[in-house]
């Protein structure tokens, strides 16, 4: 059956998110699926490291890659931006990205190691 398969974040990203001090969260659309249906991820605002100089840490779940396996498989990762008390925004890059691993032949992805081969 052809369908959009949302895999989402890997184990380490989920664990990291659960261990942060959440300020605010909302669901956001990260892409469209096979039939133009919306695929959702999350927008987070966390308490920042060193709160005396930083206001908040914004973390957005974004589409990383979408290989085809009887439909798109949606793998996501996190993009972080640190907001300083001065208003300056510091791009912190991408975190907990999935990695291609050809040794996974016969298994589309491994949630715990954050590896896929589709």
pLDDT in tens, 12-54: 999 999 999 999 999 999 999 999 999 999 999 999 999 999 9
CB atoms closer than 10 angstroms to residue 19: 8
Domain that holds residue 38: 5-116
Domain count, the chain: 1
- Cα 99 to Cα 9, 53, 77, 81, 104: the distances in Å are 12, 34, 11, 22, 11
12, containing H or E segment:
helix 11-18
SS3 103: helix
pLDDT given at position 42: 98
- Cα 16 to Cα 36, 85, 91: the distances in Å are 30, 24, 18
pLDDT at 1 over 80: no
């Amino acid at each position: 059956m052809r369908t959009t398969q949302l895999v989402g974040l890997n184990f380490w990203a989920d664990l990291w998110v659960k261990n942060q001090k959440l300020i605010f969260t909302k669901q956001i659309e990260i892409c469209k699926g096979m039939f133009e249906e919306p695929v959702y991820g999350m927008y987070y605002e966390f308490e920042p490291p060193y709160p005396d100089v930083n206001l908040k840490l914004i973390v957005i779940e974004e589409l990383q890659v979408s290989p085809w396996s009887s439909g798109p498989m949606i793998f996501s990762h996190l993009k972080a931006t640190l907001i300083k008390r001065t208003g300056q925004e510091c791009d912190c890059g991408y975190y907990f990205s999935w990695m291609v691993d050809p040794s996974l032949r016969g298994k589309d992805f491994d949630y715990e190691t954050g590896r896929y081969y589709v």
